[in-house]
Chains A and B, each alone.
Chain A
Amino acid sequence: MARFAPILPEIILAIGGLVLMIASAFVTRRGAGLISWLAVALLIAATVALIGAPSHAGPLFDGLVVADLFASFGKAVIFPAAAVAVIAAHGWFERGTEHAAEYAVLILFAAVGMSVMVSSTSLISLYVGLELNSLAGYVLASYRRHDERSAEAGLKYFVLGALASGILLYGISLLYGFTGTTSFTGVAAAFGRGAPTLGLLFGLVFLLAGIAFKISAVPFHMWTPDVYEGAPTPVTTFFATAPKVASVLLGVRVCIEALGPATDAWRQIVIFAALASIFLGAIAAYGQTNIKRLLAYSSINNVGFALIGLAAGTAQGASSVLFYMTVYVVMTAGAFLCVLWMRDGDGEPIETIASMSGLSQRQPGFAFAMFIFMFSLAGVPPMFGFWPKLLVFDAAVASGYVALAVAGILGAVIGAYYYLKIVKVMYLDAPAEPYSRVREPVQGALVLFAAVAVSPLGYLLIGPLGSLADRAAETLF
């Protein structure tokens, strides 16, 4: 039994998820609420179980996964983010014809998949984790199957996701073919033997392309705005937070553990993806009128900044990525929870930016929370969102990539414009039709928590969070 101790969180989620899946087949509409809360409880239990897990268990199951501090750090962000996504759906699907209970179960399975992603040390477990997460994601995207947009989003996500999986698998097969192993250490050893061959390089490029799709980095971002817009808002909340963290962390581990000796080869790809994401995310967001599409471009933009930290290729850089993604999840989850509350008189969701006009005079608290999230996402001090941006630039400058940092920061200025536009609409424009009041105390508490965490009070977290991220990043080197 001792060998299963390090994967206790995954066991809790997997078995709990299976039990809840069977239970959800029998519950009525009212019981769906109970299933959701049980799922939240499971995710919290899995997070708590991380504390007890040994941080240096070494390779498990013949080197398929590892339960190191890096993985634990990722899971400690992913599980609560998934729980937030479950809570976000409270009272959302009950109104429609969907079977609400399965939503929480799918999130649980996705959480197991993400958990495998951040702890995998082999190309096979990497792929299995990724697919487990993606399959749950395809279903979630089309969860409101009678809604055209949701179905379209699910289909788009599935077709493009399958293509990306194919690319990824092709890369994996090339790497396996040219190295004869699927373990990260084996691949790293192969890359370490002198200049990489053409086959290895092709494998590397295809592998990174597949990952770039999952983190929606340019030029593999095309699905993001459509899927974010079409999917039900709680699902979008989920897509924008937990899977994003898992994929970015997966990318960090692959680049450093498996492709570490080929840093010069992947760095140029990462730098291109980073800058392209920052600028495209910033510029393409200008004309958006739908808040979910805008936040989709915002997420593309933010991934670009995280990749700058990765491009540094150092422990400091990896640490800055961890820090960045943690704060990013809080800001994004908060912003999407606010979007969730944009409902018209009949309780139907509204997604236009124009409907937020004059929000500060109708619902000052709501507007103020959104105000904090927007300035934080833009990285304007004194909001806490400034600090992770500073860290990634710091890492880039420390590795000698000053020009990269300068380019990135100019992108941040361009991006500031559309965050500013939201604030302008909320604070400077005349009030529009008011939203109907939503009574969700738990969601309200989460928004409050997120707003406080990214407000200037967040700077108090620099010490503990920073040292934790540092230690987690060091396990990769």
Chain B
Amino acid sequence: MSSLPLLTILIAVPLIAGALCLFVRDEGARWIALIGTLIAFAISIYLWVAFDPNGAQWQFVEKVPIGGGVSWAMGIDGIALMLIQLTAFLMPICILASWRSIQSRVPEYMAVFMLMETLMLGVFTAQDLFLFYVFFEGGLIPMYLIIGIWGGVERIKASYKFFLYTFLGSVLMLIAMIYMVGTAGTTSIPALMAYDFPVEAQKWLWLAFLASFAVKLPMWPVHTWLPDAHVQAPTAGSVILAGVLLKLGGYGFIRFSLPMFPEASYIFIPFIFALSGIAVVYTSLVALVQRDMKKLIAYSSVAHMAFVTFGLFAMNRQGIEGAMIVMLSHGLVSGALFLVVGVIYDRMHTREIAVYGGLSNNMPGYALLFMLFSMASVGLPGTSGFVGEFLALMGTYQASTWGAIAGTTGIILSACYMLWLYWRICFGEARTAEAAAMPDLSMREWWVLGPIALAVLWMGIYPESFIRPMRNDVGRLMTRLEHVAPAGDSQLKLAGPQLKTIDAQDHGAHH
């Protein structure tokens, strides 16, 4: 293993690139941002290659004390590694997607995006509780600016709503963190993951963390900031919001809530399942009636995130691995869907579903990719969505049949709204002359969407590449949860006499 502080370099590269962007003109800023994100992506690929799935839990560890008990502690396990891949992969795509659609204050835009990448990567690499919090909360500032400056008509309201909603959720987590550090006497996340808090305290801590993660994820009923933020954000902002920011909630559950408060997690399983079940069905129905494409995809995000909570709180291997794959897959697919919307938005400047139609005639390439991503969102076998949703639901079924029923209903509904959306936009006759006259994807747009399409298929056909680095970490999490994991109501037991009959038949066959 190299002695270079790779994770610090990974975080510093976008930061430096972002600072450079401020000193050049528009075109220069675009190139600096693209190169900066590509370097970060290259480093993250190296991390993936160099990461030893059978090695120590925490790899590439760095630690420099800052003072006051806090240190610059970095390190990743397989779970963080995969989320870093997702972030570093989506970032260059976001920059490319904003290449022409952002025309005002470009250097600042690129700088803010780079800052965003730094903070997101910091969240996944931080091993110090307060360092984590600083990165976690810090992400609000750039996102506030992205929505507020480069957003749509109602951007001011959406940016306030986004900021205050998520800020309120997170400060309660801060109090919980203070209490934890006071009780356990350490700010190290790996140490806290092994610390056993008293059950009574766990409940309060778990709820405080829930306040933060549930808003980020988001879970029903605290999801209402998300549609507003998505609709108003510029395309690349939506991609980052859906692709990475929402994953912070899931990452929080898997890194904090489950391993640090296993007993409390067990106690609140019915609560989480109930919220997730409502989320899946309710937000899918809401998505069905949306007229705005971005809003529809935003609601579908809430529904998909409910699979994550289902899977995680099933507390078995299929569930947790499935939840992780759902997160990765949703990061790619919903990001891609927002980009797909962005492509036609750039041409027509409206997100009304009703003005489009028949795009498969004049934009065949576009229709093909849109089809792929819609299918992945629905969970068609062969795409990444299938692997994640299937695993998560399998895990859920073992823990709770009712949860699985709600979840599968959601899958059916997701097929309804996605296929209907696709039908209204790509098939039939063009409803307006402008829609019929739109040109197909440009080379740049192919470069934006093509890599995501490949990644979606790769994850769908050979998910092992993505699951392998996480396998041992999921195993460690399960060991931690072993004594509380729910038995489930689906373990069918055959009654005694029937067993005998089978035995007898077997014997009969042998003789």
Mask, B176-195, CB within 8 Å of A = 1, is 00110110000000000000
A452 at the binding interface (Cβ < 8 Å): no
Are A416's CB and B137's CB within 8 A? no
Q: Is the CB of B163 within 8 A of A420?
A: yes
Instruction: From known contacts A424-B148, A428-B159, A460-B66, infer whether A381 and B134 are also in contact, taking CB-CB under 8 Å.
Output: yes
Q: How far is the CB of B135 from chain A (nearest CB, A)?
A: 7
Contact B164 A417 (CB under 8 A): yes
Shortest distance between the CB of B400 and any CB in chain A (Å) = 33
**Residues of chain A lying within 8 A (CB to CB) of residue B145:** 427
**Which of A381, A387, A423: most chain B Cβ within 10 A?**
A381
Residues 381 to 405 of chain A near chain B (Cβ within 8 Å) = 381-382, 386-387, 390, 393-394, 397-398, 402, 405
On whether A393 and B178 interact (CB within 8 A), knowing A427-B148, A428-B156, A462-B70, the answer reads yes
Interface size range of chain A in the complex = 35 or more
Docked Cα-Cα span, A387 to B66, in Å, equals: 13
Q: A462's contact among B68, B135, B175, by CB below 8 Å, is which?
A: B68
- Interchain CB contact under 8 A, B167 and A459: no
User: Is there a chain A Cβ closer than 8 Å to B295's Cβ?
Assistant: no
A463 interface residue (CB < 8 Å to B): yes
Checking B140, B155, B172, B182 against A398 with a beta-carbon cut-off of 8 angstroms, the contacting residue is B182
Which one of A364, A406, A428 contacts B155 once the chains associate, using CB atoms below 8 Å? A428
Contact B179 A416 (CB under 8 A): no
1/0 per position for A394-436, CB-CB distance to B under 8 A?
Answer: 1001100010011001101100110010011001100000000
Query: Which residues does chain A contribute within 8 Å of B70, judged by CB atoms?
Result: 459, 462
* B174 partner residues in chain A, CB cutoff 8 A: 390, 393, 409
Q: Is A375 an interface residue (CB 8 A)?
A: yes
Interface assignment of A466: CB less than 8 Å from any CB of chain B? yes
Q: Is the CB of B164 within 8 A of A416?
A: yes
Contact-size category for B? 35 or more
Closest to A361 in B: B105
* CB-based contact A380/B167 at 8 Å: yes
The interface residues of chain A lying within 8 Å CB-to-CB of B65 are: 463
Chain A residues, Cβ within 8 Å of B172 = 406, 409
Identify the closest chain A residue to B171 (Cβ).
Answer: A409
Interface of A is mostly: helix
Chain A contacts for B160, CB-based, 8 A: 417, 420, 424
Q: Which residue on B lies nearest to A368, using beta carbons?
A: B22
State whether the Cβ of A464 lies closer than 8 Å to any Cβ in chain B.
yes
- Check A462–B163 contact: CB distance below 8 A: no
Which residue on chain A has the smallest CB distance to residue B160? A420
| A464–B145 CA distance with the chains assembled, in angstroms | 33
Residues of A within 8 A of B181 (CB): 394
- Asked whether any CB of chain A lies closer than 8 Å to the CB of B149, the reply is yes
**Chain B neighbourhood of A460, CB < 8 A:** 66-67
CB of B134 within 8 A of CB of A463, answer no
Contact B66 A463 (CB under 8 A): yes
Docked complex Cα distance between A413 and B22 (Å): 30
| Interface contact B66-A459, CB-CB below 8 Å | yes
Is the pair B66, A397 in contact by a Cβ cutoff of 8 Å?
A: no
A361-B105, A428-B149, A463-B68 known; A390+B138 contact, CB < 8 A: no
Q: Is the CB of B67 within 8 A of A413?
A: no
The residue of chain B having its C-beta at the shortest distance from the C-beta of A428 within the complex is B148
A416 touches B167 (CB 8 A): yes
Q: Nearest residue in A to B65 (C-beta to C-beta)?
A: A463
Within 8 A of B (CB), among A361-384: 361, 364, 375, 380-382
- Contacting pair B171 A382 (CB below 8 A): no
Residues of A within 8 A of B66 (CB): 459-460, 462-463
Chain A residues with CB under 8 Å of B108's CB are 360
Report A449-466 CB contacts with B as 1/0, cut-off 8 Å.
000000010011111101
The CA of A423 and the CA of B149, in the complex, are separated in Å by: 11
A402-B175, A462-B70 known; A394 vs B182 contact (CB < 8 Å): yes
Which residues of the other chain, B, contact A381 by a CB distance below 8 angstroms? 133-135, 137-138
Extra pairs beyond A360-B108, A380-B141, A428-B159 (10, CB < 8 Å): A375-B141, A380-B138, A382-B119, A386-B134, A393-B178, A413-B168, A423-B144, A428-B148, A463-B65, A466-B68
Closest 5 CB pairs of A and B: A463-B67, A382-B138, A381-B134, A462-B67, A462-B68
Contact surface of A with B, Cβ cutoff 8 Å: 360-361, 364, 375, 380-382, 386-387, 390, 393-394, 397-398, 402, 405-406, 409-410, 412-413, 416-417, 420, 423-424, 427-428, 456, 459-464, 466-467
